[in-house]
Amino acid sequence: MSEEATSLMDLPSPILLLILSTLPPTTLLYVKTLSKSFLNLTLASEFTKLSRSASIIIHQFNSNRTNTLKFLKFVVDNFDHDPNVDLDLQLYFPVDRFFLVGSVHGFVCFNYFFGDVDSIYILNPTTREYIILPEPQRVRKWPNIVRYGFGFDPVRFEYKVVRIYQEEIRDDDTNSFRYYKSEAQVYIIGKGYWRSCVEHVMFWFGCWVEGVNLYGKLHWLVSDANQNELICSFNLENELFESFPTAPGYTKENCPNLRSLGAFGRCLCVCDNNADTQFEVWVMKEYGVTDSWVKEIVINIAPECNNYWLCYEMINLLKVLDDGEVLFLWRDDFLFLHHPVKKTLKRLHVCDGNFVASVYVSSSFSLKNFEAEVVKIPNLQNCHVQPASSSTNSNSNRTNTLKFLKFVVDNFDHDPNVDLYFPVDPVFLVGSVHGFVCFNYFFGDVDSIYILNPTTREYIILPEPQRVRKWPNLVTYGFGFDPVRFEYKVVRIYQEEIRDTNDFRYYKSEAQVYIIGKLGYWRSCAGHVMFCFGCRAYGVKLYGKLHWLVSDANGNELICSFNLENELFESFPTGYSKENCPNLRSLGVFGRCLCVCDNNADTHFEVWVMKEYGVTDSWVKQIVINIAPEYNDWLCYEMINLLKVLEDGEVLFLWRDDFLFLHHPVKKTLKMLDVCEGNLLACGHVSSSLSLKNFEAEVVNVF
């Protein structure tokens, strides 16, 4: 045997790489500082592949398995998901529901809050260990707001949870000018207590987005007292705040502001989705240097490309993959991939229901190394754990399912045996009249209308209308009944964009009408209006008319009606503010009155009712739901539609396209209803056995 001294560096490179890749993150960082050889080795591409095989962690909620953790790995242009390694978090944390804050070195941070409780959980999914941090001081109470971040201090080798407590301050003179004083509270894993930092900043950090981890700092998009957008960082070493200007494109008119902060490789980036024609990603090539912002990605939005679902929703960038493809999270609904060079766009179906996601690198580093913490491991011996299964009722393999709900003693009764699967994908619900349900299907140049009777299982397909839906022109629909001529009519609003010499944009809108069972073709009406009807909301029927919230050429909001008898437009004002962009107001029917749901404020949700039809002075504020984070802050800044006023005065709403909820204006109760997973649309429906075969001019199909 040779007596020559040997060192660890004498080992073959592949073996040494394997050894290093198994080290805990903190130990690995220390090893890098020992010698230049170790530093070069740990920076090698082979080591990067071993130690940084980052996957995506999915925290799924709002389904039958309300808190499930899924792990996705990228495999040849797609993500691979093994359901056998999913974690049912209810077995770990006996609370519902909690929110993903972030992941660092295999540790995952969650926040649970309800009432006066504001708890942080740290979990290692690999070892199944978790800890619960002590409660911080300064209880989360509305209107004060709390935000979190989770990061690693590479200088002191410490894991830190940062709590941003935002205290609302109102001007003493007017009590209306509002700003925030924000301070940081820090918890070092293994120390056992929260500590308040001396410094504070006059920024609003919001109440939804957690900190972005980069260069030993946590970052947020914030707004100052004058509503200017900035990037604020919190240095995890010296625990001081810094700020610098945000990416170009921000205006104060963006309310709510559909911009999000992320990391594009090793650079900060801002995703901007406030325009209706394109989605942009700005990248800061040099950290902290304002002039280094570059528009890295532009996705043009056009209905014929089947991507106008991108419009006006929050999009977060999750990860840039090795081949340059970029992974995004659309709202909290689904993931999609975009390749900036190939210009491809691909939606990924990884789970049903709502979820949030973050980059994740697994680690076997035990939480027991933090001596001051009480480490818990769930007792799973008496529990049967099975992978989360996919629902066949919504937004999965059976993407278009029709469900029928009946109100039974303070809740809705749903019989899944009468659910209908409609064999066209995707279709959008336009409305229901006398048992007939109207759907719209469009893709490319195809723009079809289906009329279905769920009771008889009959349906008809209307002929294609003239004037193909082509961006930037827009189309919306309505379905109603003319009580004078006893005719069922589908109304198509074709909106032609017009730009003047100064690039000022407005719309010229005309109606096309199809009468079920009559001539078998669409007929254009003579009149037109200079309104934008949008492309999402369908006509609300009342008093033999269809109604829409529209905007005129100056951005003023109006209610526009289309009379189903004489086929003429009318309009009257609503009292809208131009500052609401996008405008989170929706039109509905409250009993026999028009109503407007307004969710543009961050303190309350309102329902206005027009007591006398067409009379502007008859608007009354019928419902006010105060919003408080500890109870119902999910109401904030999302589109809410009123569906029905029940006999006992309780009101049924649709939140976005995610779930239904009930509110009783007198009892002040608020109840979320779990009727199905995935996305949904809803409307009132009265079943009927009237056959579509009575309309002789139509070709009736049965399924």
Q: Can you give the pLDDT at residue 188?
A: 95
State the average pLDDT over residues 524-545: 86
pLDDT, averaged across the chain: 80
Rounded to 5 degrees, φ, ψ at 657 are -125, 40
Helix (H) or strand (E) holding 279: strand 278-284
Helix (H) or strand (E) holding 31: helix 25-32
CB-based contacts of 612, cutoff 8 Å, min separation 6: 618
425: pLDDT strictly greater than 80: no
Burial zone of 570 (CB within 10 Å; 0-12 exposed, 13-18 middle, 19+ buried): middle
SS3 assignment, position 462:
coil
Q: Give the range among 6-20, 202-216, 466-480 with minimum mean pLDDT.
A: 6-20
Q: Can you give the pLDDT at residue 31?
A: 55
> Could you give the percent of the chain with pLDDT greater than 70?
79
Q: Can you give the pLDDT at residue 111?
A: 87
* pLDDT tens digits along 239-290: 999 999 999 988 766 655 788 999 998 999 999 988 878 899 999 999 999 9
State the average pLDDT over residues 394-415: 62
Q: Give the range among 66-70, 319-323, 693-697 with minimum mean pLDDT.
A: 66-70
* 21 compared with 528, residue with greater pLDDT: 528
* pLDDT tens digits along 71-103: 888 765 667 777 777 787 776 665 566 788 999
* pLDDT tens digits along 459-483: 999 998 888 777 778 889 999 999 8
Q: Can you give the pLDDT at residue 2?
A: 46
Asked if residues 488 and 478 have their Cβ atoms less than 8 Å apart, the reply is: no
Calculate ∠ Cα 598-574-545, nearest 5°: 100
- Please give the Cα distance from 110 to 101 (Å, whole number): 5
pLDDT band at 520 (very low <50, low <70, confident <90, very high): confident
Q: Is the dihedral of CA 416, 417, 418, 424 positive or negative?
A: positive
- Please give the Cα distance from 24 to 105 (Å, whole number): 8
pTM of the model: 0.61
- Please give the Cα distance from 643 to 454 (Å, whole number): 20
- Please give the Cα distance from 148 to 102 (Å, whole number): 9
Tokens of 212: 């972005």
Asked if residues 400 and 155 have their Cβ atoms less than 8 Å apart, the reply is: no
- Please give the Cα distance from 315 to 317 (Å, whole number): 7
* pLDDT tens digits along 214-245: 999 999 998 888 888 899 999 999 999 999 99
Burial zone of 665 (CB within 10 Å; 0-12 exposed, 13-18 middle, 19+ buried): middle
State the average pLDDT over residues 331-342: 87
Per the DSSP assignment, residues forming a β-bridge with 512 are 492, 524
Burial zone of 613 (CB within 10 Å; 0-12 exposed, 13-18 middle, 19+ buried): middle
SS3 assignment, position 413:
strand
- Please give the Cα distance from 565 to 483 (Å, whole number): 8
Tokens of 195: 């500590």
SS3 assignment, position 601:
coil
State the average pLDDT over residues 389-395: 32
Q: What is the DSSP letter of 622?
A: E
pLDDT band at 28 (very low <50, low <70, confident <90, very high): low
Query: What's the gap between Cα 45 and its chain centre?
Result: 36
CB-based contacts of 677, cutoff 8 Å, min separation 6: 62, 63, 64, 352, 353, 391, 393, 394, 395, 396
Asked if residues 77 and 321 have their Cβ atoms less than 8 Å apart, the reply is: no
416: pLDDT strictly greater than 80: no
- Long-range (24+ apart) CB contacts under 8 A made by 137-143 are 137/185, 137/194, 137/196, 138/165, 138/185, 140/113, 140/116, 140/165, 140/629, 140/630, 141/630, 142/627, 142/628, 142/629, 142/630, 143/168, 143/603
Q: Can you give the pLDDT at residue 411?
A: 64
Closest CA to 323 of 80, 55, 72, 77: 77
397: pLDDT strictly greater than 50: no
* pLDDT tens digits along 609-650: 999 999 989 999 999 998 876 667 777 778 899 999 988 889
pLDDT band at 35 (very low <50, low <70, confident <90, very high): low
Q: Can you give the pLDDT at residue 682?
A: 86
Q: Can you give the pLDDT at residue 19?
A: 56
| Three-class SS of 244-276 | EECCCCCCCCCECCCEEEEEECCEEEEEECCCC
Asked if residues 287 and 269 have their Cβ atoms less than 8 Å apart, the reply is: no
| DSSP string over 32-98 | HTT-HHHHHHHTSHHHHHHHT--EEEEEEESSSS-SEEEEEEE-SSSEEE-GGG-EEGGGT---S-E
Q: Amino acid identity, residue 678? A: G
